[in-house]
Amino acid sequence: MRFVSAEQVARRAGVSRSAVSRTFTPGASVSPATREKVLKAAEELGYHVNDLARGVLNNQSRLVGIVATKPEVGFRAHLTAALTKALIRRGSVPVLINTGQTEEEMLAAQKMLIGHRAEATIILSGSPPASFLELARRNGQPVVLIGRSEPEADHVHAGNSEASIEAARLLLKAGRRRLAFAGSQSATPSILERQVAFVAEVEHRGFEVQIAHGHDSNYDCGLAAARALLAEGPAPDAIFCANDLIAFGVMDVLRREGGLRIPDDVAVIGFDDVPEASWLNYNLTTFRQDPLVMAQRAVDLLERRIADPDAEQGHDRVVPELVVRETFVPET
């Protein structure tokens, strides 16, 4: 590829190469007449400043890495989209790295971002190893985590336990007694927090919880969890699901294979409020995580860290709100 160069713009405008550079450098001194000629030539040629080269010269760039596992799935897809929009509004260039959760994969992603002088890294998947945070610290690269907590990094965390406790209280208040939790063997920090809080609250009130797990936190996981619950004996009369994708699978099995009515026979509550939760076939009562809010909170923490590298770690907790639809209507 042969991009239009500043030298070509200078020749077309009849000015020096340095005049072109000054024209595209904020705050640099250049006469109005020269600026007009340079901008006119740049538009005619289709010239754009080489931001990558400028970033290398300044030992920094506007790149911000987003490290995520399966960024196309469920709530993470909407959070990733919200993050890219928030970063672009900030003037950053988001770079999405779709990686796994192993230490080797995380470090490979980080080395790539540091090699390209990324300004910061936002992590949506996996808890970064200590070596990840140490390498970022040595290079002065801020790290913001979403959905997990680390003592040495800024993070945005959903109020998983608060929502899960509320789910348990509302279901018991409505007279549901055979409660179940549909979770995932992936046991991410967020899903584990939801399970622990829900089970603890139910047991604290003198009842037991059936627990069923699928392999991953997706629709197939919900299918597997629901089948396991139905195979154990009497069907639960309420199921709290670790996320909406799991809830969709649970609901389809309850209706199609169990012949059960929702919410008459079984109440179902999800978590995330992805757009599909409002579809007529599901109409799922769920706890809403707002991806726009969480993304902006992450960018705010990033701005704070860049402005004051020595500030104490910022911890922002966003408590989800219950969105009531047809699968469970709390008593008033």
Nearest to 223 by CA among 240, 247, 244: 247
Q: Which two tokens stand for residue 225?
A: 């969890």
Nearest to 61 by CA among 154, 155, 143, 141: 141
**CA separation for the pair 327, 192 (Å, rounded):** 23
**CA separation for the pair 28, 37 (Å, rounded):** 16
The mean pLDDT of the chain is 89
**CA separation for the pair 78, 71 (Å, rounded):** 9
Name the pTM for this structure: 0.82
pLDDT tens, residue by residue, 199-236? 999 999 999 999 999 988 899 999 999 999 999 889 99
Give the H/E segment covering residue 17.
helix 17-23
pLDDT band at 60; cut points 50, 70, 90: low
**Residues 141, 119: contact at Cβ < 8 Å?**
yes
**Residues 222, 164: contact at Cβ < 8 Å?**
no
* Partners of residue 323 on adjacent β-strands: 286
Which of 41-55, 220-234, 278-292 shows the lowest mean pLDDT across its residues?
41-55
Beta strands in 69-193 (DSSP E): 93-98, 120-123, 143-146, 154-158, 179-184
pLDDT tens, residue by residue, 73-93? 899 999 999 999 999 999 898
